[in-house]
Amino acid sequence: MALLGRRKPGFTTTEAVDPRTLSDAVNEDNIVTPCPAAEQAAGQPPVEEPLPANMAQALAQFVRNHSRGGYLVSLAQLSREDPNVPTLYEQMTSDPACGDIRSYKTAKDTYLYEEGIMSELYLMLNALALDGDDVNTIVTLVRYNSKVFPTVTPLDYFFRTPFSMTQEQVDAAVETILATGGELADIAETQAPSGNRYLYSTDHLTPVYAKSLAEFAEAND
Amino acid sequence: MSVQNGINGWAGTVLRVNLTTGSVTREDTLPKYKPYIGGMGIGYKVIWDEVPLDTEPFSEEAKVVFSVGPLTGSGVPCSGRTTITLLSNWSRGKSIVDAHMGGHIAHSIKYAGYDAIIIEGKASKPVYLKIEDDKVSLEDASHVWGTGTFNTNKVLSAECGAEFDVASIGPAGENLVSMSCMITSFGNSGGAGVGGALGAKNLKAIAIRGTGAVKIADPVEHKNLCDYMIRDLVGGNNNHNVPSRPQSWAEYTSTVKNRWQGGPGVMWGAAPDGAIDTGEQPSGQIAVAAYRATKGVFDYGDVVQQYIVKSGGCASCPVRCYSEYNVDILAEYDLPTLVSNTCVPAGSGPTSFYLKDAMHDFKDEGDSKIVLGLHGAYVMDDLGLWENYNNLGREFAWCLKNGVFEKMLPKEEFDSIPWHLMEEGDPRWLDDIMGRIARKEGEISRIGEGSYFFYKAWGLDDASKNEWGVNMYDMIGGNNNVTYNGYPKHHSSEDGWQSGLLYNVMYNRDCMVHVLTNFVRSGSPFNEVIKPVLESYFGEGCVDAPKAYTPINENKVKLAKWCFLQKQWQDSATLCDWMYPMTLSSSPARKYVGDIDLDAKYMTAVTGEEWTMDDILFSAERISNMLRGITAISFKIHENMDNLRKTHDAVPAWVFDKDPDVPAFSEGTDKMDREDWEKSLTMFYEAMGWNVDTGIPTRETLEKFDLGDMADKLEELGLI
Ligand code: SF4
């Protein structure tokens, strides 16, 4: 099935390379300082990974591999790719060997992950990023930062992984948020003396306080 | 052969070099200097015992003390700092100051067998001091005199051998410019006017190689402590304990710009064997600690990643706060492309020499600060010019913006300056303008005398004496003077409420104390981490949330005193003040609680004697009282002032008058309140055992620290 051989963007893919196309620098004969760790590893017996006993456990292993790389597994996306996944998921939840696999539910999807690998915050960030709703991602995190730290949130926060939004995406989402009012009316903008833009929630910060925190966030000596 | 003498921790020997006579003598470090620990403590003891405080700082009679401490070179992380103690030529009162130099030279001094090197006298011609363990000689330096620090360090390294560490002064020091420093062969600087102090002695450089070691009483415990510190406590630079990029293991992501900038997708783009992704850097993993700081991104933003070669740093440091770059754009101007530096000299310092509108991007949006900042750092370092935590730059910028140079410079001089280079945002402008300051060329070079004397010369310290109607100390906006003595704030009330301001006014230069800013700007949330952790150490109300301050209380004063003493301890040990004390931890499992007793554990493991933090802080308090007593005497001698509270510790108006629409102690300002500040001073003096009216240590306090002779001198001068 597609499941075990599948690679998400960002994961390594294996390509067959014709050694004749390599430059001299990387031909084996020219490697004069072999890596000690590689030499040591070459002398060791191969690590035996136990094969999954069934496909539900294979799914669990797939989730673990992703979690260890910092990724959540989208149940909806995987189910679209492989119709067996919903059944396997049901089997997995009742298999004690898969007890470390947890799910994180959002309004849009259910995300699978291995327990104890990712922080609560990262689960939230990752799920928001995968949901792909830029407005909701920004609003949720601006409120979270205003409440928990308390602090204002710089717009470039959303350029970082795992969001990796573009300037255009952020600008469009912020414009929508600030124009929407209603449920989003608590989200406001302030600027640091540098002109950099920050968002905050008026439920937690006053405009005067927010402005001063933007100045604080940038001090650079 | 190294002159190790079998003592644990200390090397055991203080080296004395008299440049006038060429004599080289040695004395035992212990027991004489043990109550002063090492480093700064030794420096203060030497100056107090041997240099009358009316001595001209840049003279044959003055002395300069290079010193390290019992932890230097022991392998304790972040112990590669050298303290240089001297008399100030540039701040009001001409009192005692220290420069703090990183790199590798501290280790070399220690491995050569010395805890301190006392430089006295004046050579009859330019020399450099060559030390190879017990072989000490003065060598001719006429071939490097007049050249920059990069050339000097290169030539002397070639002459002495690649295993020598070299630190030299540049033209600024040779020309007795007050704003001068020395630069090591790894590019680290020690400022505070040390360049001029050595220039006055015709000492161009020190070249040193040590082949010995530091004897450690309990190597197993020492190793365990080092591993524990890097694994469980250390975060990024300044021990900022929360990454600024989301990482899968991290419970928080910093929203303030902090000094843990490495993370997934953050690259050392110009690494020699191809770009390196600094990746995830979980707390608990020793091997990835050095990727965390990636300080260049803090200094310049993401656009700099393409130029980062690697993170450099001091010997024994796993944190590496010193990004090194290859900025190919500079080649277009025939300027060196391999550049490095950190903090003010590499960013806001050099760019202050341009009008804002004159700066332009070179290749990418926002890269003007990179190109101008890093070339400026190169020029300043090569000239051995010190920026006084950028008072130099701020003053230049203000004069430039307000047309002051046009009025104050003779026409011929003004016309001789290639202003078009500045107007074009050309990096070569810095070579010209900084060169004039370093060579004391023309009236414009008065800016190199330092804020205090520069303001006096141009009447900028009195609104009635200049046509711009300003007092540079008091004006709001763009001015950072924290006292009327000629130096700026260094993480003061803007980061650390009354506590930060209290220790900012204690020294005779910018305080260089980072204890508060380290946790305030750590990236941790205030209510969930910073407040509970700090209150567990110092009690309720010891910390305020950023920009939401409260009136002074006893626990804030307790914290202020602790921070103040920590600094004296660190510069004596020697330990890096950017990292210690380990107030917070990066470890979620520890709930971010640091270990503020770690320093004592290191001292016990290294020396084999039982040290507690109380022992350490007692010695630090002795040195703090020496600082205060010496300052009081200097102010009496040079300024005929006998009240430090009203003079040395007076705080400029802007600190109280900023944010005019926001009252002090409300959300939205870090301004101070005058009445509350007076109360803070009184409480702090009481905590230190000083006279609350004058801020001068009482006899009782001085005698508690065996400083009765200092009390006698203060009494003789009518100060106590
Ligand atoms: S943190 Fe920076 S200054 Fe401190 S020891 Fe390390 S490299 Fe040196």
Tell me the pLDDT tens digit for each residue of B14-53: 999 999 999 999 999 999 999 999 999 999 999 999 999 9
CA distances from B147 to A160, B26, B86, B167 (A): 45, 32, 24, 13
H/E/C letters for each residue in chain A?
CHHHHCCCCCCCCCCCCCHHHCCHHHCHHHCCCCCHHHHHHHCCCCCCCCCCCCHHHHHHHHHHHHHHCCCCEEHHHHHHHCCCHHHHHHHHHCCHHHCCEEEEECCCCEEEEECCCCCHHHHHHHHHHHHCCHHHHHHHHHHHHHHHCCCCEEHHHHHCCCCCCCHHHHHHHHHHHHHHCHHHCCEEEEECCCCCEEEEECCCCCHHHHHHHHHHHHCCC
Q: What pLDDT band is residue A26 in, cutting at 50, 70 and 90?
A: very low
Of B267, B229, B265, B227, residue with least CA distance to B248 = B265
Burial string for A19-37 (b: 16+ CB within 10 Å, else e) reads: eeeeeeeeeeeeeeeeeee
Q: Which residues of B touch A125 (CB under 8 A)?
A: 246, 253
Structure-token pair, residue B86:
């001297």
Element (H, E) at B208: strand B203-209
Residue A164 confidence (pLDDT) above 50: yes
Average pLDDT over residues B630-636: 98
Q: Which amino acid, A122?
A: Y
What distance in Å separates the CA atoms of residue B323 and residue B314, rounded to the nearest whole number?
12
Mean pLDDT of all residues belonging to chain A: 85
Residue B3 confidence (pLDDT) above 70: no
Characterise B602 by phi-psi region: left (phi > 0), alpha (psi -120 to 50), beta (else): alpha
How does DSSP classify residue B8? B
Domain residue ranges in chain A: 19-123, 133-219
What distance in Å separates the CA atoms of residue B358 and residue B538, rounded to the nearest whole number?
48
Beta strands across the sheet bearing A187-191? A153-154, A197-201, A187-191
Subunit contact B390:A221, Cβ cutoff 8 A: yes
Residue B529 confidence (pLDDT) above 60: yes
Radius of gyration over every alpha carbon of chain B, rounded to an integer in angstroms: 24
How does DSSP classify residue B229? I
Domain encompassing residue B69: 13-209
Here the CATH number for the domain that contains residue B29 is 3.60.9.10
Q: What pLDDT band is residue A36 in, cutting at 50, 70 and 90?
A: low
What distance in Å separates the CA atoms of residue B247 and residue B89, rounded to the nearest whole number?
48
- B468-488 pLDDT, tens digit per residue, is 999 999 999 777 999 999 999
What distance in Å separates the CA atoms of residue B232 and residue B226, rounded to the nearest whole number?
10
Of B123, B51, B129, B128, residue with least CA distance to B88 = B51
Q: Which residues of A touch B294 (CB under 8 A)?
A: none
Question: What is the pLDDT, as a whole number, of residue B346?
Answer: 73
Candidates A212, A220, A221; nearest CB to B669: A212
Residue A31 confidence (pLDDT) above 90: no
Distance from CA of A138 to the nearest CA of B (A): 13
The label of the residue with tokens 């979980």 reads B282
The percent of residues above 70 in pLDDT, for chain B, comes to: 99
Average pLDDT over residues B555-582: 98
Candidates B249, B255, B495; nearest CB to A153: B255
The percent of residues above 90 in pLDDT, for chain B, comes to: 97
Question: What is the pLDDT, as a whole number, of residue B616?
Answer: 98
Question: What is the pLDDT, as a whole number, of residue A6?
Answer: 36
Subunit contact A118:B389, Cβ cutoff 8 A: no
Mutation target among B238, B255, B491, B667 for the A interface, most CBs of A within 10 A? B255
Subunit contact B248:A160, Cβ cutoff 8 A: no
Which of A39-53, A93-107, B129-143, B187-201 has the weakest average pLDDT? A39-53
Structure ipTM: 0.94
Number of the ligand 1 atom closest to the C-alpha atom of B576:
4
Structure-token pair, residue B107:
């280790």
Mean pLDDT of all residues belonging to chain B: 96
B348 touching A, CB under 8 A?
Answer: yes
Number of the ligand 1 atom closest to the C-alpha atom of B313:
7
Q: Which residues of A touch B245 (CB under 8 A)?
A: 160-161
**If you take atom 7 of ligand 1, which residue's CA is the nearest one?**
B313
CATH number of A133-219: 1.10.10
Candidates B256, B491, B527; nearest CB to A216: B256
Average pLDDT over residues B173-184: 98
- Residues B346-349: contacts with CB under 8 Å, at least 24 apart: B346/B299, B346/B373, B346/B374, B346/B376, B346/B377, B347/A220, B347/B299, B347/B300, B347/B373, B348/A220, B348/A221, B348/B373, B348/B390, B348/B393, B349/B373, B349/B376, B349/B377, B349/B380, B349/B387, B349/B390, B349/B392, B349/B393
Is residue B719 one of the residues assigned to a domain? Answer: no
**If you take atom 5 of ligand 1, which residue's CA is the nearest one?**
B78
**If you take atom 8 of ligand 1, which residue's CA is the nearest one?**
B314
Q: Which amino acid, B518?
A: N
What distance in Å separates the CA atoms of residue B626 and residue B48, rounded to the nearest whole number?
8
Average pLDDT over residues B57-67: 98
Structure-token pair, residue B49:
């015992």
Q: What pLDDT band is residue A51 in, cutting at 50, 70 and 90?
A: confident
Question: What is the pLDDT, as a whole number, of residue B436?
Answer: 98
What distance in Å separates the CA atoms of residue B490 and residue B517, rounded to the nearest whole number?
10
Q: Which residues of B touch A221 (CB under 8 A)?
A: 343-344, 348, 389-390, 490-491
Domain total in chain B:
2
Subunit contact B255:A152, Cβ cutoff 8 A: yes
Identify whether the C-beta of residue B386 lies closer than 8 Å to the C-beta of residue B192.
Answer: yes
What does pTM read for this prediction?
Answer: 0.93
The label of the residue with tokens 């893919």 reads A13
Average pLDDT over residues B426-432: 98
- In this structure, is the dihedral angle defined by the CA atoms of residues B433, B436, B441 and B443, taken in order, positive or negative? positive
**Who lines ligand 1 at CB under 6 A?**
B 78, 80, 102, 237, 313-314, 317, 319-322, 576, 578-579
Residue B437 confidence (pLDDT) above 50: yes
Subunit contact A150:B265, Cβ cutoff 8 A: no
What distance in Å separates the CA atoms of residue B92 and residue B640, rounded to the nearest whole number?
11
Distance from CA of A172 to the nearest CA of B (A): 21
* Residue B276, φ and ψ in degrees, nearest 5: -115, 130
Question: What is the pLDDT, as a whole number, of residue A18?
Answer: 57
Residue B132 confidence (pLDDT) above 90: yes
Strands (E), B146-185: 165-169, 182-184
Distance B457 CA to ligand 1 centre (A): 37
Q: Which amino acid, B602?
A: Y
Question: What is the pLDDT, as a whole number, of residue B470?
Answer: 96
Is residue B155 one of the residues assigned to a domain? Answer: yes
Is residue B58 one of the residues assigned to a domain? Answer: yes
Distance from CA of B501 to the nearest CA of A (A): 16
Subunit contact A217:B257, Cβ cutoff 8 A: yes
The label of the residue with tokens 């949130």 reads A153
Which of A30-39, A133-142, B123-132, B275-284 has the weakest average pLDDT? A30-39
Q: Which residues of A touch B348 (CB under 8 A)?
A: 220-221
Peptide bond into B418 cis (omega under 30): no
Candidates A119, A152, A212; nearest CB to B251: A119
H/E/C letters for each residue in B649-708?
CCCCCHHHHCCCCCCCCCCCECCCCHHHHHHHHHHHHHHHCECCCCCCECHHHHHHCCCH
Chain A residues whose C-beta sits inside 8 Å of any chain B C-beta: 70, 117-122, 125-126, 145, 148-154, 157, 159-162, 164, 206, 208-209, 211-213, 215-221
Question: What is the pLDDT, as a whole number, of residue B347?
Answer: 72
What distance in Å separates the CA atoms of residue B641 and residue B648, rounded to the nearest whole number?
9
Number of the ligand 1 atom closest to the C-alpha atom of B342:
2
Sequence-distant (6+) residues with CB within 8 A of A86 are A75, A79
Structure-token pair, residue A79:
């189910």
Q: What pLDDT band is residue B1 in, cutting at 50, 70 and 90?
A: very low
Residue B136 confidence (pLDDT) above 90: yes
Of B445, B513, B483, B479, residue with least CA distance to B639 = B483
Sequence-distant (6+) residues with CB within 8 A of B52 are B61
| B140 three-class SS | strand
Final residue belonging to a domain, choices B440, B461, B482: B461
| B63 three-class SS | strand
What distance in Å separates the CA atoms of residue A207 and residue A36, rounded to the nearest whole number?
58
Question: What is the pLDDT, as a whole number, of residue A41?
Answer: 65
Identify whether the C-beta of residue B664 lies closer than 8 Å to the C-beta of residue B541.
Answer: no
Final residue belonging to a domain, choices B209, B236, B253: B209
* Residues B342 and B194 placed together within one structural domain of the fold: no
Q: What pLDDT band is residue A20 in, cutting at 50, 70 and 90?
A: low
Residue B353 confidence (pLDDT) above 60: yes
Final residue belonging to a domain, choices B430, B461, B492: B461
Distance B293 CA to ligand 1 centre (A): 10
H/E/C letters for each residue in B298-334?
HHHCHHHHHHEEEEECCCCCCCCCEEEEECHHHHHHC
Question: What is the pLDDT, as a whole number, of residue B247?
Answer: 96
